[in-house]
Amino acid sequence: MRKHYEIGSEFWDVPAGEKDSGLFPGGAQWYLSGRAALRAIIKELSGIRSVELPGWCCDSMIRPFAEAGIKTEFYPVYPSGTLRQEPRFDCDAILIMDYFGFTGTSPDVSGYGGKVIRDVTHSLFSASYADAGYYFGSLRKWCGIKTGGFAFTGDGHKLPAADGSDGGYTALRGKAMSLKDCYINGKPGPDGMPVTGKEYLGIFGEAEEMLDGIESAPADETDIALAQRLDTEFIIKRRRENARLLMSAFPGSLVFGGLGDSDCPMFVPLMVPGGKRDSLRRHLIDNDIYCPVHWPLTEYHGPDEKTAVLYRDGLSLVCDQRYGEEDMLHLIKVIKSF
């Protein structure tokens, strides 16, 4: 029984077992973050001058290219019964991805002659691909891994290892996770006293700001060992159960029309039109429910009109393995009370 009740926000634990998760090939290289893994790929592709990126993405996918002097262009990604992606294939390289563990929407690159980079962060528990020259991702989106960026190549050669310092980031993020664990589960803090406030939020924020300034550093060895023992059966089963409940409650508002046989949702993306998305999000926060917006628009973005609706109206409902049926029914009730 959790001492303090909330849904969402930062993870504090890793569901690991004794078996090999089988998620990562032997040639996978480990980095501090997903963006550090992407930078390692970009460094190897030093000859490319332009890259086509999905119009709906995080700025951490755009900035490594921009900082390397590579021209970034965006292709439309938009909801239309399901999620549609329409690349033009007119750059030296293209980055492709599935979204939020829902498979079958990423572009077909079989006829493309440039370099293909696939972000497998969202599809890690849903699908295995062999259509790219380079693959990368981040485990931090799935569980309480402090670091967990990874990258591997289509032909099996290993990318260069990271050689920079994390500047204390790993220890800081570990401290924040430990304090959140104490707060949620009513454990005593490092001083032996109960953790009654959310001071861990400021520490998480400090760590994230620090991460933005670290170009390259290796992943924590403990994280690597945990990643290779993730309890994939539990993660997939719990997330699918939670997602089914949420999707059945809001059938007319979903970005994805249904849950495929192999899908393992990271979130359940919902469209909230009429300028009500931000008000709904505040209502959820007032009830200690933290559903993220994917993604905040920055100076690096350039969405077209069709894609802009996802930034404006999209809200990602939490469905992860920390929660069960009672939590999902509570989330549904709070949304419907809005």
The two three-digit tokens of residue 87, written as one number = 């690349």
- 276: in domain: yes
Asked whether residue 285 is assigned to any structural domain, the reply reads yes
Q: Does residue 305 belong to any structural domain of this protein?
A: yes
Do 236 and 332 reside in the same domain of the chain? yes
Pairing assessment for the beta strands 50-54 and 71-75 based on DSSP bridges: parallel
- The torsion angles phi and psi of 118, rounded to 5 degrees, stand at -115, 125
Residue 265 lies in a domain: yes
296 plus 257 within the same structural domain: yes
Q: How many domains does the chain have?
A: 2
| Whether residue 238 is found in the same domain as residue 318 | yes
Burial of 198 (C-beta count, 10 Å sphere; 0-12/13-18/19+): middle
Q: Do both 276 and 312 map to the same domain?
A: yes
Per residue of the chain (338 residues), what is the pLDDT tens digit? 577 889 999 999 999 999 999 999 999 999 999 999 999 999 999 889 999 999 999 999 999 999 999 999 999 999 998 999 999 999 999 999 999 999 999 999 999 999 999 999 999 999 999 999 999 999 999 999 999 999 999 999 999 999 899 999 999 999 999 999 999 999 999 989 889 899 999 999 999 999 988 999 999 999 999 999 999 999 999 999 999 999 999 999 999 989 999 999 999 999 999 999 999 999 999 999 999 999 999 999 999 999 999 999 999 999 999 999 999 999 999 999 99
Q: Which domain holds residue 206?
A: 167-213
Q: Is residue 273 part of a domain?
A: yes
pTM above 0.85, yes or no: yes
Residue 47, exposed/middle/buried by CB under 10 A (0-12, 13-18, 19+)?
exposed
